[in-house]
Structure 1
């Protein structure tokens, strides 16, 4: 059974994420694995979910990157957050009966459709697993709050540094990144829409961080040159990303 548990954790990014909050049992891993029934592939250029959509379905991102965004009346876009494998997409929408944002792939993605009946069954049959889902959702909400603080109060360079460090912490949890760096498909235009900067300003800030010997973002890869110094520069305190829950038994 221990071998089965290890295999499921290795094969599911969501299990890795939730496993940081709850020491998942074999039964809980089996229930989680049972969610992986309805698979969809969505290509770049086609929205997965539209603002105002009323279908009661959420998704688990299996592979690829996506972003959540809102379009303003003047046509400008604000990216709310980026999603990586193991993240839920549209979880709030399934509870509120309508999506308040759109979701589009950053790369080609594979997702699992999750209906409200699926989630209710998880909460009913495996309440500890349901608690882990809520814990992870709260962590995602905390990231959105941190992004708001960044846009409102941090300078452009500190904002960029903080964002790159946050991505590293998220990716490290699913074995896709570490203190040396990580693969990152985000363009300067996507970074601009997420961080409240222009693409030109993004380029200038990345050059500033590179010339300071802190971090380089080039050819789809983020390389940390002095991780600890970057943490100090960005005043990056990742308590909001606390990856140890009270149910780690």
Structure 2
């Protein structure tokens, strides 16, 4: 298909509702998938499934997720009657990392190496299969890295060499309250860890509940500096 002028288009889509942005994305791309892990993503699935019940969805199984998250994946699959492509990391790469540095090296070094093996490499492989993807990023999730995310962008991090990969962030302008208002209004399934104080949920060793007045991302990689709270899935957010 003809390349999209994402900069010009983003200015227009910024004014649109998420469901309309998703409708546009599905109209433009047949080979498009939703990245699923949390509350925002299931809102995207709910909206998209009302437009196309056969929407492609994938999630990353790092091998270190909470038991509740695995149960949640099944709950969403059954609720919407969809197929979820559960993408796993390369077993040999995981074994090499664990053999050399142990199971909890991220507490001593930083989380980027482990995330690189368990999340980034399998994501890169998955995105080679599609022309566009949809994520649940919001601007207010991480003021240090996501405050300026567009609604539509050229994904230069994961694009195939010489080709274009388009990335949609339909919830960019929504708040956490709007996400949860939607979940409650439409009885959308959510991870039960949210009822236990978890606001942003990742791998089990790297996620903990947040306390009163803490930002939602403070429960992720809590031992690191706040400005580093990205695993690399959205590496383009971090200014070099």
Using structure 2 for the length normalisation, give the TM-score: 0.29
Using structure 1 for the length normalisation, give the TM-score: 0.28
Higher strand share: 1
Higher Rg: 1
Higher helix share: 1
